[in-house]
Amino acid sequence: MQYLDQEGKVVYTSKDGMSSGSPMPVYRLPEEPLFPPVERAAKSGLLAVGGDLKPERVLAAYREGIFPWYSEGEPLLWWSPDPRFVLFPRELRVSRSMRQFLKKQPYRITFDQAFRSVIAACRKPRPGRDDTWITQEMQEAYIVLHDLGYAHSVEVWQEDALVGGLYGVSLGRAFFGESMFSARANASKAALIALVSDRADLAFDLIDCQVETTHLGSLGARLIPRSEFKALLEESLRHETFRGNWGALPNPA
């Protein structure tokens, strides 16, 4: 599928194998950190192309329910899919077998102690794939957001080895999950469960999972209309953002 900007120029051709059908419009972003209304996104969820990954633009995107997602060699793409995959912390579903697994305390959990290592591990291609959507530019951009106190990580350790984790962006009472990895059984699930249960003091209303996956669905994430997501996000953003290192927060009881 081809996408055309406001001037009718082809700015992106998707890799979905579709060669038929009319080209779809997509917005080329200006220099200012501004975005078109999310309702103008294509059916695929693609909303805009271009711009940069400076903190001002990335944070402005999240506040509007938009996120960057592209692969090496592609232009910078911005998405707002409909429906949206969301985990409400109160709906977290932990299976009996997972509860029994965690009771054995196989892992140690920390917060914001190894952000760079977590994002580097998430960047490694998944089995069966040669590429990754976490480009070098993306990795550097989220490290900057971490240094500014907006991006956070959950680390899962087995003795001194980092065996799982996740990272994302926190604004108001919304957490925008970006990626997770697991090098041992259930390690990424343990990270998400810890985010909900051990950091309940941050009082998240929602955890944005972006697009549907079986893995996150098994933990209770579900699809909701984009309009509902946007309304919930606006409410969550009314609350103050806790900026800083989560590792400095008191340990959960």
**For residue 35, what pLDDT is reported?**
96
149 and 126 co-located in one domain: yes
Domain that holds residue 32: 2-81
Q: Which of 65, 81, 97 delimits the end of a domain?
A: 81
11 and 131 co-located in one domain: no
142 and 208 co-located in one domain: yes
Residue 121 resides in a domain: yes
**For residue 20, what pLDDT is reported?**
47
Residue 186 region by backbone torsions, left for phi larger than 0, else alpha for psi between -120 and 50, else beta: left
Residue 110 resides in a domain: yes
124 and 213 co-located in one domain: yes
The answer to whether the CB of 25 falls within 8 A of the CB of 9 is no
Residue 65 region by backbone torsions, left for phi larger than 0, else alpha for psi between -120 and 50, else beta: left
The answer to whether the CB of 15 falls within 8 A of the CB of 36 is no
Report the CATH number that the domain containing residue 160 is assigned in CATH: 3.40.630.70
**For residue 201, what pLDDT is reported?**
86
46 and 121 co-located in one domain: no
- In order of 16, 96, 203, 239, the CA distances from 234 in angstroms are 32, 35, 15, 10
User: Which phi and psi angles does 20 have, rounded to 5°?
Assistant: -100, 175
Mean pLDDT by 10 residues, the chain (253 residues): 76 62 83 95 94 98 97 93 98 97 96 98 78 89 98 97 98 97 96 94 94 95 98 97 89 59
3-state DSSP call for residue 68? strand
Closest CA to 111 of 39, 200, 34: 200
Who's near 227: CB < 8 A, 6+ residues apart? 82
115 and 232 co-located in one domain: yes
Report DSSP state, residue 226. Answer: H
63 and 111 co-located in one domain: no
Number of domains in the chain: 2
> Alpha-carbon distance 81 to 217, whole Å?
17
**For residue 129, what pLDDT is reported?**
62
- The radius of gyration of the chain from alpha carbons, rounded to an integer in Å, stands at 18
Sign of the CA dihedral running 224, 228, 229, 233:
negative
Reported pTM = 0.92
**For residue 18, what pLDDT is reported?**
44
Task: Give the strand pairing for 174-182 and 206-210.
Answer: parallel
> Alpha-carbon distance 242 to 209, whole Å?
20
> Alpha-carbon distance 91 to 106, whole Å?
24
Residue 14 resides in a domain: yes
